[in-house]
Amino acid sequence: MPEVSVSGVPEAFEHAGDAAEFKRPPHRPGVELYRAHIVRHAFEPHLHEGFGLGAIESGVERFRYRGGDHLAPPDSLVLMNAGEVHTGRAETDAGWRYRMVYLDPAVVEAVTGERGWHFSEAVGHDAPRARRVGRLLQRLWAAHEPLAFDSLLFTLLAELRPHARVARPAAAEGALRFAGVIAYMREHAEERLTLEDLAAVAALSPFHFLRRFKAACHATPQQMLMALRLLRAKQLLAGGLPPAQAAAASGLADQAHLTRAFAHRYGVTPARYQRQLRA
């Protein structure tokens, strides 16, 4: 399995039909919009800080998530919980077209007044709702007034509420076992960490820790560390830090390493990502 990064989207794809774009509302931290048409690109394992919620407009996506393979056909919902490692590639020759919004859990809680949202199914087979969600995401992308944006965001989460749960799922308890380890990785992401370092935090023997971590988090410790490093780099880039400095502050070898890893997982280069957010 390739190394994990955080968001999974290059400045140019290898295939001319591939395109991806990000956008953030200046007034509402913790919200990021995304739209793409992917034909040939295969997103390497990555994660997002927040929920990944969206709709497939055409084509079929195949992705690996929480230890299983999933297919998202046209007019279906994509419902990913925060911090879950996943991949993505086209299942159909013409690729797939989709829109997403990435929401920090704190934003979901603030908008809905509910704590502990999660989704038990990664794909929602609900065509009428998926079409409504797709239209709402399109309107969010085009919204210029903060009040209009926030009202649409409220409507979007209300539309998705029937697919959400608010009690903690039993499957999430395993990941909680390693919350301290993941926090340690975040704090020391720029360092050269060893399996023994992380196992000591979990008070387990090294390979026992590796087995338990992989089963609970659906990623190896190295994959999770790379995901967290790229997530930090993504946050620093969004804040305006030059790519070379973001790479150094995130524990990556150099700017070239950041560019390769970022493009393989997000579909855009760091420089293009920054330009998209400034547009």
Q: Is the pLDDT of residue 6 over 90?
A: no
- The model carries a pTM of 0.78
CB atoms within 10 A of CB 253: 11
Q: What is the CATH number of the domain that holds 214?
A: 1.10.10.60
Q: What is the pLDDT of residue 167?
A: 66
Instruction: Note whether 23 and 144 are same-domain residues.
Output: yes
Nearest to 185 by CA among 59, 6, 2: 6
Q: List the domain range (segments joined by +) for residue 126.
A: 19-163
Q: Give per-residue pLDDT as tens, 232-245.
A: 999 999 999 999 99
Phi/psi at 138 (nearest 5 deg)? -65, -40
Per-residue pLDDT, 211: 86
pLDDT at 153: 95
My answer on whether 23 and 159 are in the same domain is: yes
- Residue 13, domain member (yes or no): no
Asked if residue 6 belongs to a domain, the reply is: no
Same domain assignment for residues 115 and 195 = no
Could you say which DSSP state residue 161 is in? Answer: G
pLDDT tens digits, one per residue of 203-261: 999 888 888 998 888 888 888 899 899 999 999 999 999 999 999 999 998 999 999 99
* Cβ atoms of residues 262 and 270 within 8 Å: yes
